[in-house]
């Protein structure tokens, strides 16, 4: 209970820290966790760990409970180390809004499937403060699904997954980890997530990883590869030290990403199968990407307007990935994202109408299509009159 109380104190202290100097966040963490030393013991990692949305209830800490279904009945119990049990069935962890603390390492070996789902990264926070690097390790599951939470591994990796042919991670923030998502002999799809302040955001050993609409920021390595492959698409890789470290082969693809950073390097050995339609800060990346469709981005503030964009860049998806990282920790990110999409859809629609007045039909069609892409799943009736007026022109 003493460490739990200290952790709660941390969260209450950190909530007002948005915008504070990095050294201050780090100093407070050291005071609150006197017996714990994070594996990534740097101010930039600690500051990312300390980002907490005001939407996250912080009045108390909760234990992590799970349900275990062996095919006959479903039992409710604590999520605990069950490495010797070979018949766990389907293991489900459902976390409502709040802050959850794990102080003991968990190894699940023999679960048929494992699912952990929260109420959203801005509402559900799982703090991993164990003496083991592998705080949460799943081995041999047929399927692993992780969704809708912030994983804050103060002194460990985020999630370690071995020997799983079907891993999906969506809408998850990994903050301040040694390895945010650590994979071995697995196949994974990671979407709409954020890796911030990690030594390596994703570490893949003998694994195949598909990454879509993901933000990597302020990490040593966005991705680290050992005899594995990455297919990275529509993602925002900003101000890390390396984009991909390790030897890559023809299975590795970088398609339609924004890659920017004053010190950021590609860092790989070998050549990918394809690297095209990326918007890149070439001054520090060199010409390793090679494809003519890659475009140079000199100033991040220029994105997404007033730029010669690569022909295959999904500017809407990349911008949304950027916003997930930039607005992590703010209140109501979903509402902010919706307002941004409506605003951008309206701006594209107004520009489309201007292009039509100038009889530039080609430009008008492109802008109308962008307007509808920005609108996304938002009902058309919620859009501005300008968007409604050009919606027919923007449909495929």
> Does some domain include residue 113?
yes
Helix 333-357 crosses helix 315-326 at what angle (to 10 degrees)? 150
Closest CA to 193 of 218, 219, 220, 175: 175
Q: Which two tokens stand for residue 331?
A: 């209140």
Please check whether residues 213 and 347 belong to one and the same domain.
no
Tokens 């991705």 belong to residue: 223
Please check whether residues 321 and 285 belong to one and the same domain.
yes
Backbone angles phi, psi at 194, to 5 degrees: -130, 135
- Which residues constitute the domain of residue 145? 61-325
Backbone angles phi, psi at 347, to 5 degrees: -65, -40
> Does some domain include residue 4?
no
How many structural domains comprise the chain?
Answer: 2
> Does some domain include residue 118?
yes
Yes or no: say if 4 and 61 are a contact pair by the CB < 8 Å rule.
yes
Please check whether residues 275 and 340 belong to one and the same domain.
no
> Does some domain include residue 177?
yes
> Does some domain include residue 50?
no
Q: What is the pLDDT of residue 26?
A: 39
Q: What angle do CA 178, 179, 180 make, to 5 degrees?
A: 110
> Does some domain include residue 6?
no
Please check whether residues 346 and 203 belong to one and the same domain.
no
Please check whether residues 103 and 181 belong to one and the same domain.
yes
Please check whether residues 67 and 202 belong to one and the same domain.
yes
Please check whether residues 130 and 279 belong to one and the same domain.
yes
Please check whether residues 177 and 306 belong to one and the same domain.
yes
Please check whether residues 223 and 347 belong to one and the same domain.
no
Please check whether residues 309 and 338 belong to one and the same domain.
no
Q: What is the pLDDT of residue 336?
A: 94
pTM of the model: 0.88
Q: What is the pLDDT along the chain (396 residues), one digit of tens a residue?
A: 445 555 555 555 444 444 444 333 433 344 444 445 666 677 778 888 889 999 999 888 898 888 877 555 556 676 775 656 567 788 999 999 999 998 888 888 888 999 999 999 999 999 988 877 888 999 999 999 999 999 998 767 889 999 999 999 999 999 988 899 999 999 999 999 999 999 999 999 999 999 999 999 999 999 999 998 999 999 999 999 999 999 888 899 999 999 998 878 888 888 888 889 999 986 656 556 666 788 888 889 999 987 889 989 999 999 999 999 999 999 999 999 999 999 999 999 999 999 999 999 999 999 999 999 999 999 999 999 999 999 999 887
The count of residues in the chain is 396
Q: What is the pLDDT of residue 83?
A: 57
Q: 265, 298, 325 — which closes off a domain?
A: 325
Please check whether residues 93 and 212 belong to one and the same domain.
yes
**109-133 confidence digits (pLDDT tens):** 888 999 999 999 999 999 988 877 8
Yes or no: say if 378 and 342 are a contact pair by the CB < 8 Å rule.
yes
Q: 281, 308, 325 — which closes off a domain?
A: 325
> Does some domain include residue 27?
no
Return d(Cα 115, Cα 136) in angstroms, integer.
12
Q: Which two tokens stand for residue 368?
A: 């109308």
**291-312 confidence digits (pLDDT tens):** 678 888 888 999 998 788 998 9
Please check whether residues 240 and 382 belong to one and the same domain.
no
**23 C-beta neighbours (distance < 10 Å), count:** 11
> Does some domain include residue 40?
no
Q: 308, 325, 342 — which closes off a domain?
A: 325
Q: What is the pLDDT of residue 290?
A: 63
């Amino acid at each position: 209970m003493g460490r739990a109380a200290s952790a709660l104190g941390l969260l209450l202290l950190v909530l007002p820290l948005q915008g504070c100097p990095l050294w201050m966040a780090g100093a407070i963490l050291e005071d609150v966790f006197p017996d714990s030393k994070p594996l990534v013991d740097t101010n930039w990692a600690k500051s990312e760990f300390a980002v907490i949305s005001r939407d996250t209830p912080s009045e108390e800490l909760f234990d992590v409970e799970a349900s275990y279904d062996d095919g006959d009945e479903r039992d409710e119990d604590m999520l605990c180390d069950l490495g010797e049990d070979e018949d766990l069935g389907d293991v489900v962890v459902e976390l409502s809004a709040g802050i959850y603390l794990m102080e003991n390492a968990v190894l699940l070996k023999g679960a048929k499937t494992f699912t952990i789902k929260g109420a959203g990264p801005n509402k559900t926070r799982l703090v991993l403060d164990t003496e083991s690097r592998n705080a949460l390790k799943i081995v041999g599951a047929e399927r692993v699904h992780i969704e809708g939470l912030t994983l804050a591994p103060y002194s460990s990796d985020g999630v370690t997954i071995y020997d799983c042919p079907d891993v999906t991670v969506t809408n998850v923030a990994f903050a301040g980890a040694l390895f945010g998502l650590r994979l071995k002999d697995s196949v994974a799809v990671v979407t709409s997530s954020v890796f911030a302040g990690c030594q390596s955001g994703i570490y893949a050993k003998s694994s195949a990883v598909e990454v879509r609409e993901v933000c990597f920021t302020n990490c040593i390595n966005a991705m680290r590869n050992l005899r594995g492959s990455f297919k990275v698409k529509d993602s925002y890789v900003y101000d890390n030290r390396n984009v991909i470290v390790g030897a890559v082969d023809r299975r590795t693809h970088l398609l339609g990403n924004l890659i920017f950073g004053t010190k950021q390097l590609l860092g790989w050995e070998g050549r990918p199968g394809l690297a095209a339609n990326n918007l890149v800060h070439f001054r520090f990346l060199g010409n390793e990407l090679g494809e003519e469709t890659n475009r140079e981005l000199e100033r991040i503030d220029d994105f997404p307007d007033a730029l010669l964009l690569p022909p295959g860049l999904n500017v809407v998806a990349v911008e949304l990935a950027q916003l997930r990282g930039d607005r992590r920790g703010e209140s109501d990110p979903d509402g902010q994202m919706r307002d941004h999409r409506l605003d951008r859809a309206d701006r594209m629609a107004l520009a489309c109408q201007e292009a039509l007045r100038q009889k530039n039909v080609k430009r008008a069609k492109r802008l109308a299509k962008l307007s509808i892409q920005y609108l996304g799943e938002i009902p058309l009736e919620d859009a501005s009159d300008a968007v409604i007026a050009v919606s027919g022109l923007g449909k495929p």
